[in-house]
Amino acid sequence: MINNEIIEKLVIIVVNAATYHDPKRDKKPKVPKVLDVLTSASTIPLSNYTYDTIQLVKHRIDELNESVLLREQCNKIMTDNNCPAKLEDKLYKVDLYLSHLTFDAIKDDETRHWFKTLPTNFKLPGETVDKLKEMGKTLLQESKGFETLMEEIGTD
């Protein structure tokens, strides 16, 4: 779709809703429970995969845009030198707007702690779900990628 000029702007929103349980557990003499160990063992690699995936997407878009620029420069050189040849590759630049939403970006310490200690289950009270939705909206609006997109398309 990029090469057919259907996509000019690519918006990627990554949501990391990772939580933590007891931040003081490392200071306790008790051995952590199995669930705590499993949670840590599963969330740390997941965070790494998320970061790696984001970096891979950014790298691929940068490669694409670099190829577009190189093709344009080659065509200009050929035109400037009266060369009848022209590169006809179907490569088109795409603008990438990446927003990585994470509870770590919440500015207020108390609010960040509240969200990061939410239980991770499928039965949350309606009020909690509403707060999550509102925080998601706030984090998105405060993300650099989204702000840039809104500025460029002329929307507040």
Q: Please give the average per-residue pLDDT across 9-31, as a whole number.
A: 71
Per the model's pLDDT, the better-predicted residue between 133 and 60 turns out to be 133
How far are the Cα atoms of 31, 70, 88, 95, 135 from residue 2, in angstroms, in the given order? 52, 17, 16, 10, 32
Predicted pLDDT of residue 146: 93
Say how far residue 42 (Cα) sits from the centre of its chain: 20
Q: Is the pLDDT of residue 33 over 80?
A: no
Q: Please give the average per-residue pLDDT across 23-36, as a whole number.
A: 60
Q: Is the pLDDT of residue 42 over 60?
A: no
Rounded CA gap, 9 and 12, in Å?
10
Q: Is the pLDDT of residue 151 over 80?
A: yes
Task: With beta carbons less than 8 A apart as the criterion, state whether 40 and 86 touch.
Answer: no
The chain-wide mean pLDDT, for the chain, equals 80
Predicted pLDDT of residue 138: 96
Task: Tell me the pLDDT tens digit for each residue of 64-117.
Answer: 888 888 888 888 898 899 988 877 766 777 888 888 898 989 999 999 999 988
How far are the Cα atoms of 53, 55, 97 from residue 14, in angstroms, in the given order? 10, 12, 11
- Nearest to 36, CA basis, from 114, 132, 122, 120: 120
How far are the Cα atoms of 15, 71, 89 from residue 98, in angstroms, in the given order? 11, 25, 27
Task: Tell me the pLDDT tens digit for each residue of 58-67.
Answer: 888 788 888 8
Predicted pLDDT of residue 8: 84
Q: 25: pLDDT confidence band, cut at 50, 70 and 90?
A: low
Q: pTM here?
A: 0.65
